[in-house]
């Protein structure tokens, strides 16, 4: 990639995802939100185009693309529906963890069906008593011969109930990060139970539930890597996940801004179109500028990830914080520019605002992003 221009192949990837979003996602997004419909069939169509295993290696059916390619894809998909794009991102993150840390047997067993989204993957780290303090998780996995016996629960799990596997962080050792391991837990394992589908402000087109484990027996063969490296695996997944959720914010915000521009060309007040008022023109200019700055920063962080820059974790945290804050603010301002109509569901802007709000919380809250950056700067 040249410094300021995407090459033709990346433009083609972005345009493919954007066209898919316009044709197969955007026309149905409001209905999915209202009915809390999880569009698995449409996501499998996206997977058939290579979006089910974006940065999974090609020998197991992945697309073998870069993190910058992924950012372009999830941004484009989010112009249709941030919620749907975000779940595909989470599925990709969990699949990548198996591809990167799993054995060859694990890769061959799970990834071909994950890349087609025949199987859906969820990421299970957060617990009712440990959100930002993820290293304090309490779900235990006690070794019993060739199995682990799991007890505990995970909270706010996207895709729970519909998911076929849960890439789950469990405590196999003592306190702190070094006692955590990662297991692939099939969704039909006896002893798994689910909470109710949470009633949420946004993200209604994907289920979110508590997942409880009671004496669940999971083969030791389902462990990713050695015991005690699970926290490292979880954090490695989150570096990329933060890029993806930032990209989802960019796509949703761009859709909201485009809606505002279209509305302001048609709506008149005091004898003039709204887009003829200089004060509103300045607001649009600031929104577009902030969005472009966030996009440039996110792409730069994704490129740093691809070249294995030593500052990748810090840059991903910075980009996630900035892109999700800007994305929500641009969407919120777009709603304001619609006036009372922005508050009506049929215009689609209020859904984007609701969907993007949670991006400032998940994949690590933006307060935690500041903590990561600060610690990096002062050498802790």
Catalytic residues: 363
Contact of 366 with 248, CB cutoff 8 Å: no
CA distance 204 to 206: 5
Angle (nearest 5°) at CA 338 between 333 and 344: 105
Tell me, what DSSP letter sits at residue 217? E
Exposed e or buried b per residue across 28-67, where buried means at least 16 C-beta atoms within 10 angstroms of its C-beta = bbbebbeeeebbeebbebbbeebbbbbbbbeebbbbebbb
- Cβ neighbors of 354 (< 8 A, separation 6 or more) are 201, 202, 203
Nearest to residue 300, comparing CAs of 320, 286, 285? 320
Contact 16, 74 (CB under 8 A): no
């Amino acid at each position: 990639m040249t410094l300021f221009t995407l090459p033709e192949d990346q433009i083609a990837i972005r345009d493919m995802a954007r066209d898919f979003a316009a044709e197969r996602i955007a026309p149905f997004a409001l209905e999915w939100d209202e009915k809390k419909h999880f569009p698995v069939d449409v996501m499998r169509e996206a997977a058939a185009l290579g979006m089910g295993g974006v940065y999974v290696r090609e020998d197991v059916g992945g697309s073998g693309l870069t993190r910058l390619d992924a950012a372009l894809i999830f941004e484009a998909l989010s112009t249709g529906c941030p919620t749907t794009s975000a779940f595909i991102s989470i599925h990709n993150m969990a699949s990548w963890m198996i591809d990167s840390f799993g054995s060859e047997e694990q890769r061959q067993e799970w990834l071909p069906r994950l890349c087609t989204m025949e199987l859906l993957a969820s990421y299970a780290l957060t617990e009712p008593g440990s959100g930002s303090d993820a290293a304090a998780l309490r779900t235990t996995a006690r070794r019993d011969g060739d199995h682990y016996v799991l007890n505990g629960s995970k909270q706010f799990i996207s895709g729970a109930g519909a998911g076929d596997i849960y890439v789950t962080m469990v405590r196999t050792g003592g306190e702190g990060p070094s006692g955590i391991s990662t297991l692939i837990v099939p969704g039909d394992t006896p002893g798994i139970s689910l909470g109710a589908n949470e009633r949420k402000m946004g993200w209604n087109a994907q289920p979110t539930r508590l997942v409880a484990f009671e004496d669940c027996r999971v083969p030791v063969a389902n462990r990713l890597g050695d015991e005690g490296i699970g926290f490292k695996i979880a954090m490695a997944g989150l570096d990329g996940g933060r890029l993806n959720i930032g990209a989802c914010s960019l796509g949703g915000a761009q859709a909201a801004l485009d809606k505002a521009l279209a509305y302001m060309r048609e709506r008149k007040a005091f004898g003039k179109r709204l887009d003829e008022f200089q004060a509103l023109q300045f607001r649009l200019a600031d929104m577009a500028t902030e969005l472009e700055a966030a996009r440039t920063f996110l792409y730069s962080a994704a490129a740093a990830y691809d070249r294995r820059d030593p500052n990748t974790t810090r840059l991903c945290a910075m980009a996630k914080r900035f892109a999700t804050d800007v994305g929500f603010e641009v969407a919120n301002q777009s709603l304001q520019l619609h006036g009372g109509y922005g508050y009506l569901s049929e215009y689609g802007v209020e859904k984007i605002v609701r969907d993007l709000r949670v991006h400032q919380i998940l994949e690590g809250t933006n307060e935690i992003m500041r903590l990561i950056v600060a610690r990096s700067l002062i050498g802790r």
